[in-house]
Amino acid sequence: MSLSMRLAGLALRAVPRTFRTPEAVRRTAARRRRHSVPLTLRCLCRVREDDVAGFPVITLTPRRSSGRELVYLHGGAYVFPLREAHWWIISALIRRTGATVTVPLYGLAPEHSVAEALPFVDAVSKAVARRSPGAPLFLAGDSAGGGLALAHVIDRRNRRESQPEAVFLFAPWLDCTMSNPAIPPLVRQDPMLDVPGLIYCANLWARGRPLDSWQVSPINDTLKDLPPVCLFQGGRDILFPDAERLAAKAAATSSPVELHVAPDGFHVYVAATFTPESRRALARVAQRINDALQ
């Protein structure tokens, strides 16, 4: 483990866990606000905010665009808005690839649910494809956004629609039941997440839909005929066991899924862009995007 990763993990342990209890989630969510596009990105890109299907969509087009397209779905347990750390990931990817990044701001629970999110993300993907016909299109997401990204490609496969060139998932929330028996032993090692708060958020997001449905817990799909998926997962994250399970299940169906593990990484360690572990992960993603033919 790098020194910077170790120090970042210690800093996270000094912060009270938002997901320890439903009450802690509610207190934190009551103060929620969206982080606006940082000035550094506004200098690097042309920024546009549109409305698609009643929800905002931010598009960042680098002033030196490579012509590639990336749709990024932010995390936040489906109840928290886009935060500064998400912009760190997005900024790093833009700088490494020159890709235009589209950020759909899907509706958050409890006001909204997965029933609205899936058609919204689909509408955004179609809008990007119309805007840049023939351009390589990629999809990425972290945590809850990673789960939503996987559900989105499952949804498109079911409807026999075109898929992104590749999907990049950073510590995705794949099983909202949190029933994997390998999770409890990891709770003490995870400085950020806990089971009670996550299950509370999952029920808000599902809004009556079974938690084990593929729309809410995409790991429960067959995982057949998926586009290439690359997972980046930290070992000190209670979502790690389900990332391993997804990779094994996908391998059994011959779907192209790669799992890259930072053994001492915390949840969405990729956002800690000052660490060598994050830089290695982002370099892998950038190489995949940059190698795409136009």
Residues recognised as catalytic:
143
Q: What is the CA radius of gyration of the chain?
A: 18
Q: Which of 222, 213, 104, 220 is nearest to 158 (CA)?
A: 222
In whole angstroms, give the CA distance from residue 168 to residue 260: 11
Strands 55-62 and 69-73: unpaired
The CB density around residue 143, as the number of other CB atoms within 10 Å, is: 28
Q: What would the DSSP string read from start to end of 70-117?
A: EEEE--STTTS---HHHHHHHHHHHHHH--EEEEE-PPPTTT--HHHH
Other C-beta atoms lying within 10 Å of the C-beta of residue 188 = 9
Give dist(CA 192, CA 171) in Å, integer. Answer: 12
Spatial strand order of the sheet with 55-62 comes to 45-52, 55-62, 100-104, 69-73, 137-142, 167-170, 229-234, 257-262
- As a whole number of angstroms, the distance between CA 228 and CA 209 comes to 28
Residue type, 147: G
Runs of H (alpha helix) within 161-260: 195-206, 240-252
